[in-house]
Amino acid sequence: MRTAYLECFSGISGDMMLGALVGAGVPFEHLEQVIAALNVGARLEMRKVTRGGIAAIKIDVIAPDQAANHSPENPSAHTHGEHSHPHHHEARGHHHHSHEEHAGAGHAHAPHRSLSAILAIIRAAPLTDAVKDLACRAFQLLGEAEAGIHLISVERVHFHEVGAVDTIVDIVCAAAGAAALNVDRWIASPLNVGSGTVVCQHGTLPVPAPATLALLGDAPMYAAGPPMERVTPTGAAVLRMLNVRYATLPQMRVAATGYGAGRRDTPGEPNLLRLLIGEEQPQEESPSEKIAVIETVIDDSTPQVLASASELLLAAGAWDVYRTAVQMKKGRTGVQMTILCHPEKAMAMREILFRETSTIGLRWRIENKVALARESVPVDTPWGPVRVKVARTPGGAECNASPEYEDCRAVAVKHSVPLKQVMQEAMHAYREKHEARAGERTAADPAANVKEGQ
């Protein structure tokens, strides 16, 4: 599976994403064609920079009124092009907001674009439907986040004219670049969102900005490093646009790496976004899941009461219930009951224990459970069909096989045959069936491994 992994150790913004995409193999010319197709009068500028001694790519969006004042040696001359908050503004490249920055940018009273106008620009561009769908999804999410924060309709959310151009380019180019990489899924690390405050049209607000927080939802986040905004609304919208899943780096063979740079060069902490592209490798270890373990020790209930409680627990969905003899204080002999179940069923299990036994206390915990994949293989015995449960490793090799007890018991009772004989015949039938399948594979492919499970 071709996978893209975003390492957001210093957050993510629109310009960082574009730089990482180009570094990972997306031709810069492709992004230039995309911005030309948008016909918004802007252009892209790419330069190589270092952040913390690491070479990276910095991409700037130059809006029409910025071109005269912009130069690679003076990137801060287009301060207003580094914002894309609706109404208030996003700090591209991760720098502090200030009223003076906005005023100096010359767009305090710039005209605005509505969400529908921006979506119309994207839809009218000669781009693939996949790219336009992604970009429109990002803007829709961004508009809905702002609408929810201010309790207004989505159509009342407006983007500053210059900021809108900047954000349109960031998002559409990110969508086009992501599509060009042709990956099957996107994964990201937990997000370093930064800390401190940001000054915008609505006043001084904590980082992450409200729109960013709304877009991120339940994404794992933390704050590290000097106070600054590290995840911007545009960056958060791009993550949502790509349906990013958050997890640690999967087992994969990395084929390409890209570093996208933010504007600021933070000492000791490279202001970078790293993008890894590669093929995920099959997991050798079985996936784990959560399991609830509930225990209680009882010394004043009869075996019949405990047996009845065990049956009720199993009927209520417990995976297993077992009882162990224990020696308690003052020489008393007791029984420890242990229940294994899905965490969601823990409350129901506790209620049954308190209702059906004499216990007045219990302990419980959540642990990790690893289980092999299992399948039921039907086989024929002289007395009828039974199922054999087969456990396999993540690679597919057989690990264990055993006849289903209830099937064998039913056959034994029906035909008055010893249970152990039915179980032996079931395993014999399974082995014959298994060897026949292996022989068929060998006939079709002499190089096939007929010793599966060894």
Q: How confident is the model at residue 114 (pLDDT cuts 50, 70, 90)?
A: confident
Per-residue buried b or exposed e for 7-46, using 16+ beta carbons within 10 Å of the residue's own CB: bbbbbbbbbbbbbbbbbbebebeebeebbebbebebbbbe
Nearest to 421 by CA among 379, 378, 391, 383: 383
Mean pLDDT of 84-99: 38
Q: Would strands 2-7 and 43-51 be described as parallel, antiparallel, or unpaired?
A: unpaired
**End-to-end CA gap in the chain:** 28
Which pLDDT score, from 0 to 100, does residue 203 have?
A: 77
Mean pLDDT of 195-218: 86
CA distance 144 to 241: 13
Contact 87, 79 (CB under 8 A): no
Which pLDDT score, from 0 to 100, does residue 180 have?
A: 95
**Segment 221-243, tens digit of pLDDT:** 999 988 899 999 999 999 999 99
Contact 170, 15 (CB under 8 A): yes
Which pLDDT score, from 0 to 100, does residue 78 have?
A: 35
Which pLDDT score, from 0 to 100, does residue 318 have?
A: 95
**Segment 11-42, tens digit of pLDDT:** 999 999 999 999 999 999 999 999 999 999 99
pTM, full prediction: 0.58
Residue 428 is inside which H or E element, if any?
helix 419-444
Mean pLDDT of 290-311: 93
Q: How confident is the model at residue 294 (pLDDT cuts 50, 70, 90)?
A: very high
Task: Check pLDDT > 50 for residue 89.
Answer: no
pLDDT averaged over the chain? 83
Which position has the higher pLDDT, 112 or 48? 48
**Segment 390-423, tens digit of pLDDT:** 988 776 778 889 999 999 999 999 999 999 999 9
Which pLDDT score, from 0 to 100, does residue 450 have?
A: 40
Which pLDDT score, from 0 to 100, does residue 438 have?
A: 62
Which pLDDT score, from 0 to 100, does residue 325 have?
A: 93
Which pLDDT score, from 0 to 100, does residue 94 have?
A: 38
Which pLDDT score, from 0 to 100, does residue 441 have?
A: 53
Q: Which two tokens stand for residue 116?
A: 């529908």
Which pLDDT score, from 0 to 100, does residue 106 have?
A: 36
| Cα 416 from chain centroid (whole Å) | 55
Which position has the higher pLDDT, 175 or 200? 175
Which position has the higher pLDDT, 266 or 217? 217
Which pLDDT score, from 0 to 100, does residue 367 have?
A: 92
Which pLDDT score, from 0 to 100, does residue 315 have?
A: 94
Which pLDDT score, from 0 to 100, does residue 225 have?
A: 87
Which pLDDT score, from 0 to 100, does residue 443 have?
A: 58
Which pLDDT score, from 0 to 100, does residue 350 have?
A: 94
CA distance 91 to 79: 9
CA distance 231 to 220: 12
Q: What SS3 class is residue 66?
A: helix
Which pLDDT score, from 0 to 100, does residue 282 have?
A: 67
Q: Which two tokens stand for residue 164?
A: 């809108």
Which pLDDT score, from 0 to 100, does residue 105 have?
A: 33
The least confident of 125-129, 276-280, 309-313, 448-452 is: 448-452
Give the single-character DSSP code of 73: T
Q: How confident is the model at residue 171 (pLDDT cuts 50, 70, 90)?
A: very high
Exposure of 225 by Cβ count < 10 A (0-12 exposed, 13-18 middle, 19+ buried)?
middle
The least confident of 154-163, 220-229, 273-282, 352-361 is: 154-163
Which pLDDT score, from 0 to 100, does residue 51 have?
A: 92
Which position has the higher pLDDT, 443 or 435? 435
Which pLDDT score, from 0 to 100, does residue 111 have?
A: 53
Which pLDDT score, from 0 to 100, does residue 123 have?
A: 94
Which position has the higher pLDDT, 145 or 161? 145
Which pLDDT score, from 0 to 100, does residue 67 have?
A: 52
Contact 299, 337 (CB under 8 A): no
Q: Would strands 2-7 and 320-327 be described as parallel, antiparallel, or unpaired?
A: unpaired
Task: Check pLDDT > 90 for residue 135.
Answer: yes
CA distance 72 to 19: 15
Task: Check pLDDT > 80 for residue 100.
Answer: no
Identify the structural domains of the chain with CATH numbers, from first to last. 2-280 (no CATH), 288-370 (3.30.70.1380), 373-444 (3.10.20)
Residue keyed to tokens 């990972």: 24
Give the single-character DSSP code of 88: S
Mean pLDDT of 334-343: 94
Which pLDDT score, from 0 to 100, does residue 372 have?
A: 82
Q: Which amino acid is at 340?
A: L
Counting residues of the chain whose pLDDT is more than 90, the rounded percentage is: 60
Which pLDDT score, from 0 to 100, does residue 451 have?
A: 41
